Structure 1
């Protein structure tokens, strides 16, 4: 009996077919993996929102403050951790290399007052979720400054289903510019307007299904991708950057919502009147990042 072996041509054809199939399937596997991470991330934001609501119920329906250093009360994650009780929920699966952990700083000195707090405050900036900085604290609620300002009352948010409280921010590198504990109202797609912002980690990160980035402070800021956010009414949603930064209706060249003319960040004269606190933008023109 004569045995017939594969010819070199036949073997090369089989290898070529396998390579073609691999080239087709590997991106599909990568997309499926990213979809799974995005779903887990969406679940995280929902759990964080539940923690925020439990916190609010214990504090006379008042939200946490953002927790930047001048407020001297610890980051918002640290404030709601007793209700969440799971460190992993505070970390986006896409940046698991930089997890959030419940850490405290003893003998923390408040920058404005000089007060020393010895009980320890949570100042961890990792994890990849940021508090909407428009909700940093209700400075108009009888407080002379944000040092003593309480969080916003739930009743003060006129459109809870259209107000983002937590969204994806932050990067993997362990540097100050990568910190993502808050989300500022800067549209990362407007590279000219956002380029001067010192901490790209505080910009919204469309790190799921990212298609396009630009480099700021040595980090690839997504300008085309999707991110997960959770709204004041508790529903979580996966959005594109375009959906998150939807501008209020424009009337006579000015964004207007409920009869209020909103700030246009491209107009320096109105965007920075000299009374801003840190990175805040009063009357933010982005519908989902404003407080109405």
Structure 2
């Protein structure tokens, strides 16, 4: 008597599941390394863009952006804004730069043009 098999046995199914689990276990660390490398590359690119923006700012104004100084009596308003805000036009963020109102301190509710803070 010959018996024809038309389905997997439970043991065969468990073996396949175990093999798939081992392969996934081997694949996950590789995927994590690729993600870390991509994040590192993106960070390096962002730093490069910031340095290029600072150099472009220097080419235009013949000085680097002012750093944010602590608030002191009589401090000019621009000294209260960080250098990053001054680099926005050189980081392709001209719309954000134009929306900022540099006549107000950065922590005020009126720091955006139109008073919407």
TM range (shorter): 0.5 to 0.7
- Output the CA distance in 2 between the equivalents of 1:8 and 1:32: 36
Aligned match for 1:50, one of 39, 49, 52 = 52
Task: Map Cα deviations across residues 130-161 of structure 1 (whole Å, 9 max, x no partner).
Answer: xxxxxxxxxxxxxxxxxxxxxxxxxxxxxxxx
Residues 102-121 of structure 1 aligned to structure 2 (within 5 Å): 104=100, 107-108=104-105, 120=111
Q: Relative to 1, partners in 2 of residues 1:27 and 1:68: Cα closer, same or farther, differing over 3 Å?
A: farther
Task: Map Cα deviations across residues 157-198 of structure 1 (whole Å, 9 max, x no partner).
Answer: xxxxxxxxxxxxxxxxxxxxxxxxxxxxxxxxxxxxxxxxxx
Q: Relative to 1, partners in 2 of residues 1:69 and 1:82: Cα closer, same or farther, differing over 3 Å?
A: farther
Task: Map Cα deviations across residues 11-44 of structure 1 (whole Å, 9 max, x no partner).
Answer: 1111011011111111211221221122122111
Residues 1-292 of structure 1 aligned to structure 2 (within 5 Å): 2-60=4-62, 62-70=63-71, 72-86=79-93, 104=100, 107-108=104-105, 120=111
Alpha-carbon shift at residue 54 of structure 1 (Å): 1.0
List alignment gaps of at least 5 residues for structure 1: 88-100, 110-116, 122-292
More helix by share: 2
More strand by share: 1
- Output the CA distance in 2 between the equivalents of 1:107 and 1:23: 55
Q: TM-score, normalised by structure 2?
A: 0.66
| Number of matched pairs | 100
- Output the CA distance in 2 between the equivalents of 1:21 and 1:68: 55
- Output the CA distance in 2 between the equivalents of 1:46 and 1:29: 26
Are 2:58 and 2:64, in contact at CA under 8 Å, matched by a contact in 1?
yes
Q: Relative to 1, partners in 2 of residues 1:68 and 1:24: Cα closer, same or farther, differing over 3 Å?
A: farther
Q: TM-score, normalised by structure 1?
A: 0.30
**RMSD across aligned positions (CA):** 3.2
- Output the CA distance in 1 between the equivalents of 2:11 and 2:58: 71
Larger Rg: 2
SS in 2 for 1:108: coil
Q: Which has the higher relative contact order, 1 or 2, with Cα contacts under 8 A spaced 6 or more apart? A: 1
List alignment gaps of at least 5 residues for structure 2: 113-117
